[in-house]
Structure 1
């Protein structure tokens, strides 16, 4: 079977909606209909993905970039509209990659698993704090995940304001942490069912603009670390706690650029004050912001190179964060 066909065989309603859509009205070539998404790089703006009697018009593409790196288009994650209901979705097509990273003494193999993401989407159906979606199968057996976008913005985009860090810490962070508790509970739910999120990052939490609820997105990464099967998720949760507490990442360059810190603070830092996962990131934030209480700072130090004791479960982190909230200075 050819990977794509013409639009001639489309149902009448689908063909009409395709013709009338702003995307296809502006095109100088006819749309192609893809029933096989294996070669996703050939699928372009204005094409149609036909899967299990559903028809999705590709309207644009999502972008992603590691922090400090220009955003890159992800051709395997198009934005699309259902040509019957005219509902907007995000599609994730099958894309597999593998890479290694370091976690202290361990080398961790990370890889994309569309199958694992499909199982998580089924598991979290109807649960808060998780992006919702379903999985369809194309004519070649590829998994097409149909995701409902969260109407809102990334967590790391909404916590920044003109307020000082002190004002942020005392007046805004307790509310943010209370909402983040739901995200921690969600990862605990995955772990109890034998799943890892696999790619916990601050830009993988979206905040619903209407409800204020926090939602995890992007479940297709997994990792192989049989010695400590959930360790990478736990350390990445630590990264988010550190980022939220500091309202940013603090490396030596940020410290030197901050007129309230500079050389004196930098000289006070030793190797044990930095992150085990991201080794030039400061974890001992109490040295930067002395008003951070021990109850919170001690949580962060579990993720440092100087730690003797590490968290073994999300429940342990939850217990400590809840206790820190009860003892919040005010």
Structure 2
């Protein structure tokens, strides 16, 4: 197959330098076998595999072998190719038991739904010769929102008064984007801070990765809402504050004496949600929103609409500080 790959690259990318000519894959089932220098052919399009994408969480980088960074031969554009990978796992959040699973065709539906809406990643899908759904995604040039926030070189008070209001306003629009999915009976499925990117050229906040789905019978969109709350907690605190990380964020660990069990997140149990006990200048209106996502809350948001109503009221207060 190497000669076929060589000829295709010579035809479409004559000036492109590559040190290995691999195989052509029209059946993408065995995605673990696809590596640098291979070609993925879907329909009449060819994608040169450059590397596996990685997911960076908790300081570790895990390769995602079903997600390939590629070069589209016909256009010479960089693309991300997502191949079919199924998994399922349970999740518990407070009293809720949630079954999560990966659904390539659900992501393909959302790509069609949000085409042209730049609050979301853009792309399209096609099936390979055996029916695997292959998603072809545009590359977003930018950084994760949490990385942008983390890298703002100021103390929390300065951040909260000078930077947070603009970030909060744009984040509310990102929540409206999730509402748009819900209004169309779709879920994002994996709302978390590394799935919201800031595009460098435009400053737009853009959601990525729609291939997770979940079953939560108490509220079909509940997991998305919990995810939105977790991101807001991070943005308000300029970090995820835990008993172990307080000092590195300039917080005296003595504050733990006034933080009780109910002040922590219902999603991840060691993250402080009651930020007003750490930063007394955080308005009660914002802190009350955060406390809906605490382990002591008996009332959770039923919809993104409810969350946005409270956030918009809070934004007006913060703008007036």
TM tier, smaller: over 0.9
Closer, same or farther in 2 for the Cα pair 1:218/1:258, shift >3 Å?
closer
Counterparts of 1:113 and 1:231 in 2: how far apart (Å)? 18
Cross-structure match for 1:102: 92
The 3-state SS of whatever aligns with 1:63 is strand
Is 2:52 the counterpart of 1:40?
A: no
**Deviation (angstroms), 1:180:** 0.9
Cross-structure match for 2:126: 136
Equivalence map 1:300-319=2 (5 Å): 300-319=290-309
The 3-state SS of whatever aligns with 2:246 is helix
Is 2:269 the counterpart of 1:279?
A: yes
The 3-state SS of whatever aligns with 2:107 is helix
Q: 2:224 aligns with which of 225, 233, 252?
A: 233
Q: 1:87 aligns with which of 77, 90, 95?
A: 77
Unaligned 5+ runs, structure 1:
none
Query: Do 2:13 and 2:76's aligned partners in 1 also have CA atoms closer than 8 Å?
Result: no
TM-score with structure 2 setting the length? 0.95
Query: Do 2:9 and 2:16's aligned partners in 1 also have CA atoms closer than 8 Å?
Result: no
Cross-structure match for 2:214: 223
Cross-structure match for 1:164: 155
The 3-state SS of whatever aligns with 1:159 is helix
Closer, same or farther in 2 for the Cα pair 1:49/1:258, shift >3 Å?
closer
Is 2:138 the counterpart of 1:174?
A: no
**Deviation (angstroms), 1:17:** 3.2
Closer, same or farther in 2 for the Cα pair 1:255/1:14, shift >3 Å?
closer
Closer, same or farther in 2 for the Cα pair 1:7/1:52, shift >3 Å?
farther
Counterparts of 1:218 and 1:111 in 2: how far apart (Å)? 13
Cross-structure match for 1:155: 145
Which segment drifts farther, 166-175 or 177-186?
Answer: 177-186
Counterparts of 1:284 and 1:118 in 2: how far apart (Å)? 38
Q: 2:202 aligns with which of 194, 205, 211?
A: 211
Closer, same or farther in 2 for the Cα pair 1:318/1:7, shift >3 Å?
farther
User: How many residues are matched?
Assistant: 319
Q: Could you report, residue by residue, the CA deviation over 1:63-104 in whole angstroms, capped at 9, with x for unpaired residues? A: 103324x10111111111111110111000001111111111
Closer, same or farther in 2 for the Cα pair 1:194/1:11, shift >3 Å?
farther
Which segment drifts farther, 58-67 or 303-312?
Answer: 58-67
Closer, same or farther in 2 for the Cα pair 1:103/1:124, shift >3 Å?
same
Equivalence map 1:242-321=2 (5 Å): 242-257=233-248, 260-263=251-254, 265-321=255-311
Q: Could you report, residue by residue, the CA deviation over 1:158-211 in whole angstroms, capped at 9, with x for unpaired residues? A: 112221100000000001011112210110011111111111111101111111
Counterparts of 2:110 and 2:80 in 1: how far apart (Å)? 16
Closer, same or farther in 2 for the Cα pair 1:267/1:307, shift >3 Å?
same
**Deviation (angstroms), 1:105:** 1.8
Counterparts of 1:82 and 1:255 in 2: how far apart (Å)? 46
**Deviation (angstroms), 1:272:** 1.1
Query: Do 1:57 and 1:80's aligned partners in 2 also have CA atoms closer than 8 Å?
Result: yes
Query: Do 1:14 and 1:84's aligned partners in 2 also have CA atoms closer than 8 Å?
Result: no
Query: Do 2:141 and 2:200's aligned partners in 1 also have CA atoms closer than 8 Å?
Result: yes
Unaligned 5+ runs, structure 2:
none
**Deviation (angstroms), 1:62:** 1.2
Query: Do 1:151 and 1:208's aligned partners in 2 also have CA atoms closer than 8 Å?
Result: yes
Equivalence map 1:173-192=2 (5 Å): 173-192=164-183
The 3-state SS of whatever aligns with 1:21 is coil
